[in-house]
Structure 1
Amino acid sequence: MLKRGLTIAAKDLKLSVGGGQGLTQAVLLGLLLIFVFSLSRPAGQLIEAQAASAIFWLASSFGLVLVFNTLFSMEESNEARLGLLSSPVPLHAIWFGKGLAGLVLLLCSQLVFLPATIVFLGQDLNGSFAFFAIVVLAADWGLVSLGALLGAISQGQAARESLLSVILFPLLLPILLGSIQLMTSVFSGVEALDQSSWLGIIFSSSALFSGAGLILFPFVYSGEQ
């Protein structure tokens, strides 16, 4: 499963980056959100660390929706999904490959969002960068695990693609709330209350979404159009 999943991820990344889809749209939308929120602050005042953290994760969440809509729509446009279903590739490998490709694209987007948040929202990394990296990777693990599953649910019809954002955001609330709290401590330099509890919520939610993806994805992806 691992080898075939890596092959699918490499294929998706090549098409996404080469075609200028997914990543470009996610980055542009995220930058637009950050810039618009930066205009809301009065002249000479800085946006609070918690607000800046929330804006960063809001941009990441919208970017996640665009990334997985693109990853699944590329195959729907030319009915390549039928070819994948007819091949000997395990359906779990498709979920893993889509999730891995989405993780890489999301991390690339966040590499742009972070300096934009620092510059436009007047923030700085006053906490541990290693802790920041752990929070981002743990949260992104859960985001892409659920995004890969719900991206398959919304595939095929434009009317159903809007369901991805409607279903996705409420389910991601535990991860997003924990990430916002912990990233606030990185921006402000003040350790968050119940830091270990928030980390536990993020990791447990990510593990739960991964298990749900492994179990449910084969039924969702192979369902009738």
Structure 2
Amino acid sequence: MISSSLAIARKDLRLAFAGGQGPVQAVLLGLLLVFIFSLSAAPGERFSAQQAMAIFWLCSSFGVVLIFSLLFRFEEENDTATALLLSPLPVQGLWLGKTLAGLLLLLLCQVFFFPAALVFLGLDPGNNLVGLVLMVLGVDVGLCVLGGLIGAMGQGQGAKDALLTIIVFPLQIPLLLGGIRIGVGLMQGTALAGVADWFGLVMAFDAVFAGAALFLFPHVFRGE
């Protein structure tokens, strides 16, 4: 299943960048949000670490919706959903491939979001860069696991984007809260052990929704 999932991920990434577009919408929306929020500060006023991290994860949350809307649109536009379901590829492999492609695209978006937060929001990453990388990866995995499942639920429906928005955001709250609290703690000099409870929450979320996605994806993805 791993090799098939990697093939799906490569296919989606090629399609995403085929027209030179990629996750451009997600990147532009995130940068726009960072810039608009930066205008809310008075001259000389600095954003707190909590405010800056909240804005960073808000940009990532919106980015997930746009990314998985793009990834599942490929199957609709090319009428390949039924072919994928009839192929020897395990259906769970399709979900894993979409999730991996979405994770890479989200990380690419965050390469732009984080420097923008440094410049416009005065975000101070501190010295624990390893902890911040682990935080980003942990939260991103959960966001993409959830995005891959909810994206399949909206596949083939005209109101797909609305469905993604309505369902994804409430379910993302524990992840986003964990990302904010871990990021604030690490930037304020707290050791990894000091935010272990929040890391545990993020990892538990990842595990629970990964298991739910593996079980539910074959029932919600249709080749219609």
Mapping for residues 1-225 of structure 1, pairs under 5 Å = 1-190=1-190, 195-222=195-222, 225=224
For 2:110, give the aligned amino acid: Q
- What is the percent sequence identity of the aligned residues? 48
Give how far 1:185 is off: 2.3
Structure 1 CA distance, aligned partners of 2:199 and 2:71? 29
Residue 128 of structure 2 contacts residue 187 of structure 2 at CA under 8 Å; is this kept in 1? no
| TM-score of the two chains, using structure 2 as the length reference | 0.95
Give how far 1:207 is off: 0.6
Q: Which moved more, 1:126-135 or 1:52-61?
A: 126-135
1:111-169 CA-to-partner distances (Å, cap 9, x unmatched) read 11010000010112114000001111111111111100000011112323211111011
Give how far 1:18 is off: 2.1
Unaligned residue ranges in structure 1 (runs of 5+):
none
Root mean square deviation of aligned Cα: 1.6
For 2:153, give the aligned amino acid: I
For 2:184, give the aligned amino acid: T
| SS of residue in 2 equivalent to 1:171 | helix
Residue 64 of structure 2 contacts residue 106 of structure 2 at CA under 8 Å; is this kept in 1? yes
Give how far 1:221 is off: 0.7
**Structure 1 residues 181 and 192: CA distance shift in structure 2, 3 A:** farther
Give how far 1:192 is off: 8.9
Q: Which moved more, 1:168-177 or 1:186-195?
A: 186-195
Residue 128 of structure 1 contacts residue 186 of structure 1 at CA under 8 Å; is this kept in 2? yes
Structure 2 CA distance, aligned partners of 1:186 and 1:38? 22
Structure 1 CA distance, aligned partners of 2:134 and 2:193? 17
Residue 22 of structure 1 contacts residue 71 of structure 1 at CA under 8 Å; is this kept in 2? no
Give how far 1:191 is off: 5.6
For 1:189, give the aligned amino acid: G
Structure 1 CA distance, aligned partners of 2:116 and 2:188? 17
**Structure 1 residues 193 and 96: CA distance shift in structure 2, 3 A:** closer
Unaligned residue ranges in structure 2 (runs of 5+):
none
| SS of residue in 2 equivalent to 1:77 | helix
Structure 1 CA distance, aligned partners of 2:30 and 2:193? 29
Structure 1 CA distance, aligned partners of 2:131 and 2:192? 12
Structure 2 CA distance, aligned partners of 1:106 and 1:183? 18
